[in-house]
Amino acid sequence: MKIVFSQEAERVFLKLAAPIQKKVKKQFLLLDQDFFYPSLYTKKMSGIPNEWEIRIDRHYRASFRKEGDEITIDSLGPHDTGLGKK
């Protein structure tokens, strides 16, 4: 599976502290191996077609689109920001 960052998500990722970046990488490796790996808490976002969310940790979330064999990370950050709500 190919995982790509939107421009905005990449900008946010590069500003994150190194330990959080490491967690982001780990969670997306898990997502690549098993879409519903338990620690990801993968769920479909309501009201947005083809948009999913995962937990990076207790405070950080990521939202993404899955189209075929490609995942595009749309937003990343603290809970509401990471879900594209703020």
Residue found by looking up tokens 């950080």 in the block: 60
Residue 76: which CATH number?
3.30.2310.20
Number of domains in the chain: 1
**In the predicted model, what is the mean pLDDT of residues 49-53?**
92
* Structural domain containing residue 17: 2-82
DSSP string, 10-74: HHHHHHS-HHHHHHHHHHHHHHHH-TT-GGG--EEPTTSTTEEEEESSSSEEEEEEEETTEEEEE
**pLDDT tens digit sequence for 4-23:** 999 999 999 999 999 999 99
**pLDDT tens digit sequence for 71-81:** 999 999 997 76
